[in-house]
Chains A and B, each alone.
Chain A
Amino acid sequence: MAKKDGPAGPRLTTELEAIEKWSADEQDRLRKRLSGLDEEEGKFRQQLALIDKKLQENLDQRKKVAEELQRIPKAVLDRQHEALLRSVQAEREMVAARAGALGALQEARQKEIQGLLEDPANKEAIEEYEKFREVEPMLATLPGGYRRVLLDHHEEIKKVLEPVFAALEGPLPKVDGEVVEVAIVGSIDPVGGVPAAIAFVFPVGYEVCRSWSERPEDLSALLAYRGLGAICGALGEVNAADAPLSWRESDGALSVEILLADYKVGPEIKQAMEAALLSAYARAHEFTAARVAVRLFWVDPDVLVPEEAGDGDGVDQPLPGISKPVQVVLRRGGSSEW
């Protein structure tokens, strides 16, 4: 504002000057304040950027953890599968060890019997015993006196041969050591709540099947025989005796698979299998002698055959009119185990 001369001049001037000073001061103060606020805003923005970055990092990490969490069930199955493989392997070795021990006892028993059969004192008695068996059906035609003499003599021969019969018919000697428990691992694959397939992995190497003619018929082979016999029996009990049954190698072990898709089999199959398998081993003399107890352990199908470990059955086109086990055989270029 322009200054004006006159009496009112100094006062107004003073006031105007005061106003100008106030204005300058206020502007200065407010600019400083603005500057301070700008500075704070900058700081806040830096903090925000940091928080935003941390938030993003948190989101990324959360995503990873959530993915890890989702992978847990699969990891559990993988770990269970690995544990199963280790267990089957360890139990295969246990069975093989007991097979060796039992084999040694059986061999000793055979030598003992051989010795008894070759003993001249027994040889003559054995010859008489065998001859008696030939003429036994004709005894009834003989007069009573003759028959009595022959039967008495036969009893004497039997007494002489008692050690031979004891060796031939007596129970197998038991191996030294504690009873060891081994498991057959079973798994039922249901479709729509109904058993569609069953698989069993035995604690024996697949060589009992593949190389049967080149190896002894030892405890491992008998474990497979007994198991297979029990499975067939159980299938018969649930009216599925004709169900396709195949055997194959599963990580070095023997696996038996049954397809039930075309059979009306309910959950009772599980009980039937358990009963048949446990009874089969309980009544087998060789398992009593070897002190091996066989039990059955059920697992989820994914534990037995993890997805990526499958043999690609689901990938190949099914061959029309050919059952699944045969298709597997065909894809492998045929098999000696048909």
Chain B
Amino acid sequence: MGIIEQYQRLGVKDIAGHLGLHPFDVIRVLAARGPLPEDLAFEESEQERIRGESGLEVWWTPGRRLEADSVHARGVLRSMVRELVARKIVAPRATRVDNLWRGLEDEDERIARRAVNLLLQEQFLKTVSSRLGIMVTVPADKVEALERIAAGTEMPASLAALWLAS
């Protein structure tokens, strides 16, 4: 390691901030490799390694548009469901729960978090525990219903709480 690299080593907090993860999530990734190093300071290249190992994905890159909908929260929900279906996050395949909203604007992220709660309660989504944290997956028998939700042709009344409450 070069002198400057060594001087500029990153802490867990720096890596978490850059990747949009919680530091505890970074620790879980590191712990999956074995005991933590004696010094929790890392080279910059470590960031990309952790990104890969964590299963982190950015679904909402700048410019990626949400579904046009006369009700904004419904548009966020439909967009998220569309991504879940398009990315084939169907059991047994799962994705980090925070992938569902990573990259969204703050307000849309809040809506997305509430939407995930509702989808879980209505069993359109299921949680899967993993060494990297909470993952979610779509039960196979819910895929068609979610496709209709994404297309806007069907909207269960239970999910309307998302925009009726706000």
Contact = CB atoms under 8 A, between A and B. Distances in A.
Contact of A322 (B31, B35, B113, B120): B120
Contact size range, A: 35 or more
Interface in A225-243: 225-226, 228-230, 232-233, 235-236, 241-243
Given A130-B3, A283-B38, A228 B31 contact: yes
A247 interface: yes
A113 interface: yes
A323 B129 contact: yes
Contacts of A225: 12, 23-24, 27, 36, 40
A90 B46 CA distance: 36
A319 B120 contact: yes
Interface in B110-154: 113-114, 116-117, 120-121, 123, 126-127, 129-131, 133-134
B161 interface: no
A228 B28 contact: yes
B39 interface: yes
Nearest to B34: A233
A217 interface: yes
Contact of B24 (A168, A228, A236): A228
Given A320-B123, A334-B117, A247 B24 contact: yes
B4 interface: yes
| 6 nearest A-B residue pairs (beta carbon) | A232-B31, A244-B129, A229-B31, A229-B36, A241-B131, A217-B13
Contact size range, B: 35 or more
Contacts of B114: 333-334
Nearest to B120: A322
B52 interface: no
A226 B27 CA distance: 8
The secondary structure that dominates the B interface is helix
A170 to B, nearest CB: 12
The secondary structure that dominates the A interface is helix
B58 interface: no
B124 to A, nearest CB: 10
A237 to B, nearest CB: 11
B89 interface: no
A222 B40 contact: yes
A134 to B, nearest CB: 9
A280 B35 contact: yes
Contacts of A338: 97-98, 113, 133-134
B11 interface: yes
B17 interface: yes
Interface string A315-329: 000011111011001
Contact of B36 (A126, A226, A335): A226
A319 B131 CA distance: 22
13 contacts: A129-B2, A161-B3, A212-B22, A217-B23, A221-B13, A225-B36, A229-B27, A233-B31, A236-B31, A321-B123, A322-B127, A323-B129, A330-B117
Interface string A99-113: 000000000000001
Nearest to A134: B2
